[in-house]
Amino acid sequence: MRAVLQKVVQASVTVNNKVVGEIGRGVCVLVGISNDDTRDDMEYIAKKIIGIRVFDDAEGNMWKKSTQDLGLEILCVSQFTLYGKTNKGSKPDFHDAMKSDRSRQFFDDFVERLGQLYDRSKIATGEFGAMMQVSLVNDGPVTLELDSRKLAYEKPDPALAAKLAAKAAAKEQRRNGFGQKDKCEGIRH
C-alpha cells in the first residue's frame, strides 16, 4: 500500500462541481492499493498517517507533533495511479493496482480503520472511482511518500552498481560505433 501525505492548511475534493470532501489544517493523503495488499499493509499506513510528526509544537520546534497529537483533520483520496509503472513506453501500466471491485471495499475498510485509530469525524474522503479535482494549500511544503512494503531505504550494492554502469557504458559505445574494429580495415585504396 502506498500513500502520498501532504501537510496542508486546507484541502478539498470536488466531483462534478460539487465539493464532496474538505478539511482545514491537517494532512491530505493520496492512497494507492496494490493487488497483494493485506490488512497488515492497511494497519501500517493508517498508523503512519496519524502518527507521523510533520507539525511544529507550541514553541515552534519542527517535526514534533502528529495529526493525532494536535487533533487535526485528514482528507483521504483513493488514487490507483500511485501504482503506475512508467519504465516502458509512454503509456503508464496500472496492472499492479488492485482492481476497482476489490479496492473499493479495501479503501472503505481503510478509512474505517483510520477512524477507529483516530476520530472518524475528522476524516473526509473523495468519491471512489470518480474523476476528482483535488485542491490544497500545501504547508511547508511538506510532502512524504509512505509505502508499507518499503519500510527502509536500502543503499544499492556498490559492486552491482559499478557492474551495471560498465555494461551501460559498453552498450553506449557499441551504439556510437566506438570500440569496434575499423570497418575499412583490409580494404585497399
Catalytic site positions: 79-81
As a whole number of angstroms, the distance between CA 73 and CA 183 comes to 69
Task: Give the SS3 label for residue 187.
Answer: coil
Amino acid (one-letter) located at 15? V
As a whole number of angstroms, the distance between CA 122 and CA 119 comes to 6
Task: Give the SS3 label for residue 172.
Answer: helix
Task: Give the SS3 label for residue 36.
Answer: coil
Q: Which three cell numbers stand for residue 87?
A: 519504465
